[in-house]
Chain A
Amino acid sequence: MKKIKKRFFQNAGFASFLSSLTAIGIGLIFGLVLLLLFNPAKAFNGFSQILFAGASTMAKFAKVLYQAAPLIMTGLSVGFAFKTGLFNIGASGQYLMGAFFALFTGIVLKQPWWVALFSAMMGGALWGAMPGIFKAFFNVNEVITSIMFNWIGLFAVNLTLSNIPSILANYYGASSAERTAVLGAANPSAMIPKMGLDKIFGASYINISIFLTILIAVIAYIVLNKTTFGYELKACGYNRNASIYAGINAKRNIVFSMVIAGAFSGIGGGVYYLSGTAQYTIEKILQAMGFNGIPVALLATSNPLGTILSALFVSYIQVGGEAMQPEFAKEIIDIIISVIIYLSAFSLLFKGLITKFLSKNKPEYADEEESGEVAS
C-alpha cells in the first residue's frame, strides 16, 4: 500500500498535475488583483462569480457541460497533434468544416444526428489532412498551411452556405438569410438526443454530447498510449529521424495524425451545432472555439484524459465570467487563462521544484524513485 502511495505521489503525472494546479492558483489570484484594480467595490463579488457561478444552479452547470463538449474535442485535436510533434493551429478551420458538414447533412440531406456527426468528422478530417499532406509531401510548415486553410475554409463555407438556399434560416420562414436554419424546424431528428438530461438539469441545450466526447477522449488515450499505432505517432513526435531509421513511415504518420486531429475538431463543430440551440452565422471572423482548444490542450499537457478536466475547467470559469458581467468584461477570464498558460510554459521548472520537494520529504525512497521513473 505504502509503495502504491509512493508511486502515485512521485509519479511524473502527479507532479505535472500539481504544477498545473499551482499555475491555476496563481492565475486566479492574478485575476482577483485585476478585479480589485478596476472596481474594488465589486471585486470580491465578481471573483466569487468566477469561482462559484458555474455550480450555482443546475442550468449553469448544464451550460458548463454543454460548452465543455466542443472544447474537449478541439483540445484533443490540438493535443493529439502536439503529441506527434505538430502544432495544429488550424483547429478553427477544421471545427468550421465539421459544423458545415454536420449542418448540410442534417438540414439539406435530412439525415439523423449520428450520420450528421459522422459527416462532421469526415469534414474535419478532410481539412486536417491538408496541412498533413502539405507537410509530408511538399515540406510546407504545418503552422502556415493550417492558418491559410482556416481562412480558405471560412470563405469557402460562407460562399457555399450563401448558395444553398435550403440550408438558410429564411427558407424555413425566419427573416434572416445570414444564418443557418433552426435544426428543430428543419429536421428534429438531426438534433443530438437529450435522453432526459434537459429535464434533470432544467436547461434545454444540454444533450449527451458531453458523454460522447468523454468517450472519444478515453479512446484517444488508449490509442495513443496502448497501441503500436499510437507509439509510432509519438515516436515521430519525439524524434522524426530516429523513427524513420527504425522503419516507421514518418510521412504516412504525419498525414494520419493531422487527419485524426482534424476529425476531432470536426466532431467538435458537429456536437456544437447539432445541439439545436446554435445557428451558424455567416461572418468574416474565425471561430474562437478552435483557438480555445490550444489552451485546453496546453493546460492538460496534451494528455487526452487531462483534456477532459481542463476543458471542464475552462468552460466552468467562462460561465463564471459571463455571470460577472456587466460589472466586469468577461475577457478577464481570457486573461486568467493566458496567465495560467504562460505559467504552465515553465511547467518543467515547477515540476522540478515539486519533485524536489516531494523527494526531500521522503529521502529513503530517493534511489528507488529514479528506477521507478524509468519504468513508468
Chain B
Amino acid sequence: MIVLADILSATLIFAIPLLLVALGGMFSERSGTVNIALEGIMIIGALSSSLYLKFANTSGFGAANPQLAMLIAVIVAAFSGVIYALLLAFAAVSLRADQTIGGTALNMLAPAFAIVLTWAIQGQGQTTIYIPTWIRITPEAFGLARSQNPAFFEALIFKNFYLTTPIAFLLLAVAVILLYKTKFGLRLRSCGEHPQAADSVGINVYKIRYVGVMMSGFLAGIGGLAYTIAAGSGFQSTVSGYGFLALAVMIFGNWKPVRIFGAAMFFALFKVIGSYSGSLSFLPSFSGIKNSQYIYQMLPYIVTMIVLVFTSGKSRAPKAEGIPYDKSKR
C-alpha cells in the first residue's frame, strides 16, 4: 500500500508542471498563437524563482516564513514568465513574425541566459542553484505529529507536498471557469477560431492574443518552478524537455483544461512507473537484458503515441492558430 501511495504522490508531483505548462499553452493557442517557447519560459520562471529562494534562504526570511517565501517565489516565477512571454507576443502579434521561429529563438535564449547568469552570480562552473529544503509542507505545519511509519494517506499527501500543488489545482479551476464561463473566455476562443469575425464585432484581436500569450507565460513560469521542485536536485539551467512534453500533453488533452489534467496525470503515471521500475515487484524484470530500465523509460512516450493514434482523429486544434492576424487583410 505504501508503494502505491508513493507512486500516486510521485505521479502528482510530476503531473503538476505538465498540467500548469500545458494549460499555459492552451491559453496561448486558444487565442491563436502557437507557443513553442514554453520550454524557455519554464526555464526563466525556474531561474528567477530559484534565485529568489536562494536569496530568501541566505537572508533567513525563508526559514522563518517558509510558505510566505514560497508564495513570493511562485509570484516571481509567474511574473518573470509573463515578461519573457511578452517577447514572443511582441514578435508574433505586433510584428506578425513567424511564431515557430520566435518561439525557437526564445527556447534557445533561455538556457544560455540561465547558465551565463548563474555563472555570473555563483562563480565560474557553479551551475546548480540549490533549492532550500524548508519549502516542503510538512504535517507539523497543520499541527499533526510526524509518525514513524506514515500511513497510506499521510504518505500520499505529505511525501511530496509543496505549495505549487494546491496552487495548480486552483489555477485549473480558474482556467475552466475563465475559458467557458466568462465573456473573456468566449472572446479568447473566438480569436483562435476566426479572428476576422471576432474583429468585425469589435473585439481587439491583438489585445486578446497578447493576454493569451501572457497567461501562458504566467502558467509556464510557475510550471518551471514546479518542475525544479519535482526534479529535486536544484536548478541546473534546464527543464529537460518538459516544455515540449507539455505541448504534447496539451494536444493529447485536445486543448481542453480538464482533459489536459487527465493527460498530464496519465503521462506522469507512466513516467513514474519508468523511474520506479526497479523497485516495483509486479513488473517483469527482463533479467537477461542489461540496463533494462531504459525499456520502462521509453514507456510513457510509446504509450502516448499509441493513445494519440486512437484519439487524434477527433482532435481539433484552434483553426486560426499559427496564423498572425493582419487587420488590413480582413
Contact = CB atoms under 8 A, between A and B. Distances in A.
A288 to B, nearest CB: 10
Contacts of A331: 111-113, 115-116
Interface-central residue, B87, B96, B294, B297, by most chain A CB under 10 Å = B294
Contacts of A294: 104, 108
Interface string B241-259: 1001101100110000000
Contacts of A342: 87, 91, 101-102, 105-106, 109
A335 B113 contact: yes
B309 interface: yes
Contacts of A185: none
A171 interface: no
B5 interface: no
Interface in B217-250: 241, 244-245, 247-248
A333 B113 CA distance: 10
B298 interface: yes
B27 to A, nearest CB: 18
Interface string A134-177: 10001111011101111110011011001100000000000000
A183 to B, nearest CB: 23
Nearest to B101: A345
Contacts of A335: 109, 112-113, 116
A348 interface: yes
Interface stretch (B62-70, B184-192, B299-307): B299-307
A158 B106 contact: no
A34 B120 CA distance: 11
B313 A138 contact: yes
Interface string A26-65: 0000000010001000000000000000000000000000
B290 A162 contact: yes
A144 B116 contact: no
Contact of A139 (B87, B95, B290, B312): B312
A213 B321 CA distance: 36
Contacts, number: 139
B104 A155 contact: no
Interface-central residue, B100, B101, B295, by most chain A CB under 10 Å = B101
Q: Which interface class (under 10, 10 to 19, 20 to 34, 35 or more) fits A?
A: 35 or more
Nearest to B244: A147
A298 B111 CA distance: 19
Contacts of B244: 89, 147
B119 A329 contact: yes
Interface string A114-151: 00000000000000000000100011110111011111
Contact of B305 (A134, A159, A284): A134
Given A151-B241, A156-B298, A87 B100 contact: yes
B315 interface: yes
A208 B98 CA distance: 36
Nearest to A163: B290
Interface of B: 36, 87, 91, 95-98, 100-102, 104-109, 111-113, 115-116, 119-120, 124, 241, 244-245, 247-248, 251-252, 289-292, 294-295, 297-298, 301-302, 304-305, 308-309, 312-313, 315, 317
Interface of A: 34, 38, 87, 89, 134, 138-141, 143-145, 147-152, 155-156, 158-159, 162-163, 284, 286, 291, 294-295, 298, 326, 328-329, 331-335, 337-339, 341-342, 344-349
27 contacts: A134-B309, A139-B312, A140-B305, A140-B308, A140-B309, A144-B247, A144-B248, A148-B302, A163-B290, A284-B297, A294-B104, A295-B108, A326-B124, A328-B116, A329-B115, A332-B116, A333-B112, A334-B111, A334-B112, A335-B113, A338-B105, A338-B108, A341-B104, A342-B101, A345-B101, A346-B91, A347-B97
Closest 6 pairs (CB-CB, A-B)? A334-B112, A342-B105, A338-B109, A345-B97, A341-B105, A338-B108
Given A140-B305, A346-B95, 14 more contacts: A38-B120, A138-B308, A141-B251, A144-B248, A148-B302, A149-B301, A152-B302, A155-B297, A329-B119, A338-B105, A342-B105, A345-B102, A347-B97, A348-B97
